[in-house]
Amino acid sequence: MIATATTDARGLARSHYGELARIGKALGSPVRLQLLDLLRQGARTVESLAEAAGISVANSSQHLQQMRSARLVAAERKGKHVEYRLADESVSAAFGTLRELAEQLLPEMQRLRRALGVLEPGEREEIVSLVREGAVTLLDVRPREEFEAGHLPGACSVPLAELPARIGELPRDRAVVAYCRGPYCTMATEAAALLRAAGFVASHLDLGVPDLRRGRLRPPASSRSPRSSGDHVPRKAGRNR
């Protein structure tokens, strides 16, 4: 009897690897990881995710359903659309941990970091200090819907596509720091290059809102109502609220 109970307990103990494998299988796709990273920026409809990821709506829906079956994401119907969100903040943290592990173990990640201009720790700390002190104009160059889902204190929304037309709004007597979704997103580096070409002192911060939630800058609570787009005036950027 005791031997049988022991065997059953050991079998149950081994079964948890199968549950872990469900998560691993759901994460085992570049497309699903990209969709997960987009959802770290805020809840999105299937159509919006498909457009941002550069895939078809049908393909996006299929990948999202697989992640939903593993309880990584949750879905809610809103009118004619289905909106997805991360099931829990721990999913975002797990994504960040997975990325850090890849950076530590895979030489290919180091080559990507160099090619994409990912900052060294010292450079990043210097820029974070300037942002924390309110010494720079801080631009969030992500799409506006991502800004409204959560952004860094003192940031103003100037989506990358709008930046060329809105450069005249920026004060020239302050350095500018642009940020986007994280270290492997190119929007901030493109924005900084555009600003430097226009004569600004500009740099990029390669950490996004999800990365900094666990760090030194805390974005506004998701329950806080964002200001209207007309209030996102760059001249107020960089001032701590």
Tokens 């307990």 — which residue?
Answer: 9
Catalytic residue selected from 35, 67, 180, 187: 180
Contact 175, 130 (CB under 8 A): yes
For each of the domains in the chain, give its residue range(s) and CATH number, in order of start: 2-90 (1.10.10.10), 111-236 (3.40.250.10)
The 10s digit of each residue's pLDDT in 84-138 is 999 999 999 999 999 999 999 999 999 999 999 899 889 999 999 999 999 999 9
DSSP assignment letter at 40? H
> Is 179 within 8 Å of 138 (Cβ atoms)?
yes
- The type of residue at 39 is L
The residue-averaged pLDDT of 10-24 equals 90
* Cβ(208)–Cβ(181) below 8 Å: yes
Q: Is 180 considered catalytic here? A: yes
For residue 202, list its beta bridge partners. 176
E strands, the chain, where? Answer: 44-45, 73-78, 81-86, 137-140, 156-157, 176-179, 202-205
* 38: amino acid identity, one letter: L
Task: Tell me the pLDDT band of 5, cut-offs 50, 70 and 90.
Answer: low
Residue-wise pLDDT for 139-193, tens only, equals 999 999 999 999 999 999 999 999 999 999 999 999 999 999 999 999 999 999 9
Is 70 exceeded by the pLDDT of residue 221? Answer: no
3-state secondary structure of 13: helix
Under the phi-then-psi rule, with left for phi > 0, alpha for psi from -120 to 50, and beta for the rest, what region is 240?
Answer: beta
30-34 mean pLDDT: 97
Tokens, residue 179: 């940020």
The CA distance from 149 to 134, in Å, is 22
